[in-house]
Amino acid sequence: VQLQASGGGLVQAGGFLRLSCATSGGTLSSYAVGWFRQAPGKEREFVAAFSRSGRSTYYADSVKGRFTISRDNAKNTVYLQMNSLKPEDTAVYYCAANSHTTQSSDEYGYWGQGTELTVSS
């Protein structure tokens, strides 16, 4: 499966943005999909994930209540709605797919290119 993330940009603190992860070459419902981010000088960290069944979602504590992951199987696309953005959300965001749900980036076998988000204070 191939993934392509898009939707990043420059946003003021308190603003919102929606990232998209378009998938191809596979059936979205066959994969768990996660969002990760990597800020300058920091390690890649888990943000949110959808279970393969689509019935469960998982969030990092730092984004819980502000970010929402959703997916449209018909469009083979996963979204990350980000509200109440903070400067510390600034990072390159990646989407990834895997055969099972995990918060460990090392276990994801398929990655899209990143999309950059900058949140200004």
For residue 77, what are the β-bridge partners?
22, 72
Determine the pLDDT at residue 68. 98
As a whole-number percent, the residues of the chain with pLDDT over 90 amount to 85
Q: Would you say residue 28 has pLDDT above 90?
A: no
| pLDDT tens string 50-73 | 898 889 999 999 999 999 999 998
| pLDDT tens string 91-116 | 999 999 999 888 999 999 999 999 99
Going through the chain in order, the beta strands assigned E by DSSP cover 2-6, 9-12, 17-24, 32-38, 45-50, 57-59, 67-72, 77-82, 91-98, 110-111, 115-120
Contact 58, 103 (CB under 8 A): yes
